């Protein structure tokens, strides 16, 4: 569905009518194409989206078209526990993206958030729960299980063996014992029952994983798989993202390539709904004032490079990727700091800001700005955070010049 870069005035009119006359809005919703309905939903404030989805007679056609992060924001606004009907209509890829974006704190799994998504999937029905389990990394399922229960295996041939007190079993071999008193194991038991009935080998693997595998190794592999998927959504790994905060030699801050960057557009599927960036001659950020004078192809390159930078900031700062406020906040930070770099290089070289923008990568402008005003800009983490931040991949050296990390699709 090629709808990015288009405008949908009918969708905007729908948003206005939805606030005043729901009956009229329902009628108006049905008169729109699926693309226009998706535009109306994604351009609406997050708090309105559930109501807009309920206006549609065909939510099953709309929900799979919503960008992954926007679906995550919508579910969280409704309350994940109340979003099971949305998850039942979502694609497997959307569900996995929601878990990747929200069920982590920085570089570590967030068990309490994962619990919420699993419970909502269990409420969504066996088919949705099975799809999600088969699409998820086995490591995430194993982490979920071992957070709630131990597993004991009945010894072969031991006729005097007695099941553990409180143990529950589906097949008389593996017994689950709750780790905490009064823990609600209903979603976990539902998950295991579905796997036992419809994917026994995955069930068997998860039982053995809880018994035999090492938590740190499972967590490391879960992080690897998540990192790879997030790269496809435009979120580079943490160590690569941290390159934007690298130090530069003071005598190299104003370096500027002699020629414009070739206009080679590296597009990637945006997980958020953004069709344009602000650009105006009177904008308070110099970076967006300079964008006004770029031609169409140059603006398109800037669009993806700037969003890639905002994503790198979100990852480097360990922001909550499932929070709808994260991208606006990181875009504001990107605009503020790149503007510092842009104005400094323009002043030092005597080159017009628009030509600096043509010749310098947006990430380097940010890095120059960081070096000019590092106080409160670079992220800081505790020793505990650093110890738990092992991330596969090779970290950039301090002097490396890091360019755009947009991925081609």
**Residue 338, Cα to own-chain centre: how many angstroms?**
23
Name the nearest CA neighbour of 10 among 219, 1, 34, 66: 34
Q: What is the mean pLDDT of residues 197-201?
A: 96
67-103 per-position pLDDT tens digit: 999 999 999 999 999 999 999 999 999 999 999 999 9
217-274 per-position pLDDT tens digit: 999 999 999 999 999 998 999 999 999 999 999 999 999 999 988 876 566 678 888 8
CA angle 345, 404, 365 (to 5 degrees): 15
More confident residue, 217 or 301: 217
Kindly indicate the confidence band of residue 19, based on its pLDDT and cuts at 50, 70 and 90: low
% of the chain beyond a pLDDT of 90:
63
d(CA 202, CA 149): 17
Is the predicted pLDDT of residue 364 greater than 90, yes or no? yes
Is the predicted pLDDT of residue 23 greater than 90, yes or no? no
pLDDT score recorded for residue 265 = 59
pLDDT score recorded for residue 48 = 83
d(CA 202, CA 204): 5
Is the predicted pLDDT of residue 361 greater than 80, yes or no? yes
Q: What is the mean pLDDT of residues 182-211?
A: 94
Range of lowest pLDDT (229-243, 272-286, 366-380): 272-286
> How far lies 9's CA from each of 14, 236, 270, in Å?
9, 34, 22
d(CA 180, CA 85): 30
Question: How many helices (H) and strands (E) are present in the chain, helices listed first?
Answer: 21, 4
More confident residue, 120 or 405: 120
d(CA 65, CA 60): 9
231-240 per-position pLDDT tens digit: 999 899 999 9
Beta carbons of 272 and 375 less than 8 angstroms apart: no
Q: Which two tokens stand for residue 182?
A: 């009064």
Q: Which two tokens stand for residue 375?
A: 């106080």
In 238-328, which ranges are E strands? none
């Amino acid at each position: 569905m090629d709808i990015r870069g288009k405008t949908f005035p009918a969708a905007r009119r729908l948003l206005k009518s939805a606030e005043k006359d729901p009956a009229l809005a329902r009628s108006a919703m049905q008169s729109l194409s699926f693309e226009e309905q998706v535009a109306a939903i994604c351009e609406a404030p997050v708090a309105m989206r559930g109501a807009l989805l309920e206006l549609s007679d065909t939510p099953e056609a709309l929900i799979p078209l919503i960008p992954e992060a926007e679906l995550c924001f919508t579910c969280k606004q409704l309350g994940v526990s109340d979003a099971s009907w949305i998850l039942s209509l979502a694609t497997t890829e959307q569900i996995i993206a929601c878990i990747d974006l929200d069920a982590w704190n920085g570089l570590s799994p967030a068990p309490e958030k994962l619990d919420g998504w699993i419970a909502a999937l269990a409420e969504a029905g066996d088919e949705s729960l099975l799809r999600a389990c088969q699409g998820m990394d086995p490591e995430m399922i194993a982490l979920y299980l071992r957070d709630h229960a131990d597993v004991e295996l009945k010894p072969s041939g031991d006729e005097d063996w007695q099941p553990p007190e409180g143990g529950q079993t589906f097949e008389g071999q593996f017994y689950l014992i709750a780790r905490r008193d009064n823990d609600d194991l209903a979603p976990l038991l539902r998950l295991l029952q579905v796997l036992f009935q419809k994917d026994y080998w995955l069930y068997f693997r998860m039982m053995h994983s809880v018994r035999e595998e090492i938590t740190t190794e499972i967590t490391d592999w879960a992080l690897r798989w998540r990192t790879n998927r997030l790269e496809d959504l435009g979120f580079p790994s943490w160590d690569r993202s941290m390159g934007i905060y690298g130090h530069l030699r003071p005598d190299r801050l104003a370096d500027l390539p002699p020629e414009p960057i070739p206009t080679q557009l590296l597009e990637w599927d945006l997980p958020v709904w953004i069709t344009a960036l602000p650009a105006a001659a009177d904008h308070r950020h110099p970076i967006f004032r300079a964008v006004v004078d770029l031609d169409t192809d140059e603006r398109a390159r800037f669009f993806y490079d700037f969003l890639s930078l905002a994503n790198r900031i979100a990852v480097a700062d360990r922001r909550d990727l499932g929070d709808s406020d994260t991208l606006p906040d990181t875009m504001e930070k990107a605009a503020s700091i790149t503007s510092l770099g842009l104005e400094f290089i323009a002043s030092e070289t005597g080159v017009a800001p628009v030509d600096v923008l043509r010749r310098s990568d947006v990430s380097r402008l940010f890095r120059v700005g960081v070096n000019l005003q590092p106080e409160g800009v670079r992220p800081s983490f505790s020793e505990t955070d650093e110890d738990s931040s092992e991330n596969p991949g090779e970290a950039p050296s301090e002097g490396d010049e890091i360019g755009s990390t947009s991925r081609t699709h």
